[in-house]
Amino acid sequence: MDRITLVRGDITTLQVDAIVNAANSSLLGGGGVDGAIHVAAGPDLLKECRLLGGCEPGEAKVTSGYRLPARWVIHAVGPIWRGGRAGEEETLRDCYRHALMRAVELRAASIAFPSISTGLYGYPVERAARVAVQEVRRHLAESPLPEQVTFVAFDDETYEAYRGLLEA
C-alpha cells in the first residue's frame, strides 16, 4: 500500500494525527499556512507556542492541536530562500527530517505536510518538492511510523510539482 498521498486543499481541515506548520523562528504566528493554523486552532495554540522559546531553522517543535481536527501541530522552520547558496537545501532537508522524528516520538500514525518555505520564504516550488519527497521516502524506507504521509498542495503549481515527482 502506498504510504504517501497528495491532496489539494487546506491543511487545517485534515483529520490526521499531526499537521506540520511552516512556522517562523519566533513560533509566534505569521502569514500563510501559519496564520491559518493559528486561526483554526484558537488562541491556546499561541499560548503554548510562547513557552517554547522559538525554534531554529531546520528544527521542529511540537504543540497540541487544540481546536484543529489534528491532535498535534509540529512546527518546523524552513529556510528563507537567498538564491540557493546559503545552505537552504540542507536546512529544508533538516526540517522534514526533524518533523518526521517528532512524529515518531509522538507515535503518530498519520502526518500532513504543507509545502514548507515555498510561500513567503520564496523557495522555488519544484526544488522544494524534490527535497520533501526525497526526505519522506528516505524516512519511510527506514521507519514504520508514520504509517501515512500526506502532502497538502494549496495551489496548482505545487500540486503539479508533487504529482510529477510522486508518479516517477
Q: Give the footprint of ligand ADP on this chain (CB under 6 A).
A: 10-12, 22, 31-34, 36, 78, 114-121, 152, 154-155, 158
* Closest distance of CB 105 from ligand ADP, Å: 23
Nearer Cβ to ligand ADP, position 83 or 144? 83
Catalytic residue flag (residue 155): no
Q: Give me the catalytic one of 34, 44, 155, 156.
A: 34
Nearer Cβ to ligand ADP, position 60 or 116? 116
Q: In whole angstroms, how far apart are CA 144 and each of 14, 46, 50, 138?
A: 21, 32, 32, 12
Nearer Cβ to ligand ADP, position 79 or 142? 79
Say if residues 67 and 39 touch (Cβ distance below 8 Å).
Answer: no
* Closest distance of CB 142 from ligand ADP, Å: 26
Nearer Cβ to ligand ADP, position 111 or 116? 116
* Closest distance of CB 141 from ligand ADP, Å: 26
Grid-cell match 502569514, residue found = 31
* Closest distance of CB 152 from ligand ADP, Å: 5
**What amino acid positions are annotated as catalytic residues?**
34
